Amino acid sequence: MTIYFARHGETDWNVKKRIQGKTDIPLNERGIMQAKMLADTLRERNMHLARVYTSPQKRAKETAVIAAEAIGADCVVIDELRELDLGLWEGSNWDIIEEENSEIYRAWRKDKRYVHIPRGENYNELLKRTLAAVEKILAQETQDVLVVSHSAVIMVLRCYIAGMPFEEMPGGLKLRNAQMVPLRESQLREAVCRFQIEEKLREK
């Protein structure tokens, strides 16, 4: 079994390089076109996907619905697939954040996994709920599926599977809008198990 992870199509905030996070921005015209191109790819490859899972946020859900309709699959929302909560940084851009929040930003860059974004999440919290979503899917499915989510969600999952330090993200792991990447069931189960062990050790 393979789970294919795809990033949502483009939004106006992507174009303006504004930080989106939990802010619910819909696809723009180019994003809709990218979602249709993703759907075309699924059809052309004759991919037999049991279901399409998606984040509840508009940009992901709109992408997922277009893909699901193209292959005649059901579309299922999982809340844990939503984007990283970027708190007070949302609506701004990374250059401004680095300049105006230099001390907090430097601390975050040194320990992305456990340092919280102001009034937001850290990457460990994102990883925890992403793996919870993966567990739900693995418990439900035996055939290949598509998951439509967000840049940080897919990036942190791939980073963890690869055993990379979180501080090295994006490190070539960031997907383009509507780009798709496959992850094997064995990789995902190993990640879920390893994370559960790490969390138990942290609690001691």
Catalytic residues: 8, 83
Would you say the C-alpha torsion 42, 54, 25, 116 has a positive or negative sign? negative
Torsion of CA 47, 51, 56, 61, to 10 degrees: 40
Residues 65/51, Cβ–Cβ less than 8 Å = no
What angle do helix axes 123-140 and 185-203 make, rounded to 10 degrees?
130
* DSSP label of 148: E
Please state, in angstroms and rounded to a whole number, the distance separating the CA atoms of residues 164 and 171.
9
Find all residues with CB under 8 Å of 33, minimum gap 6, and list them: 9
Residues 38/180, Cβ–Cβ less than 8 Å = yes
Please state, in angstroms and rounded to a whole number, the distance separating the CA atoms of residues 83 and 80.
8
Find all residues with CB under 8 Å of 53, minimum gap 6, and list them: 64, 75, 76, 77, 78, 81, 133, 137, 145, 146, 147, 148
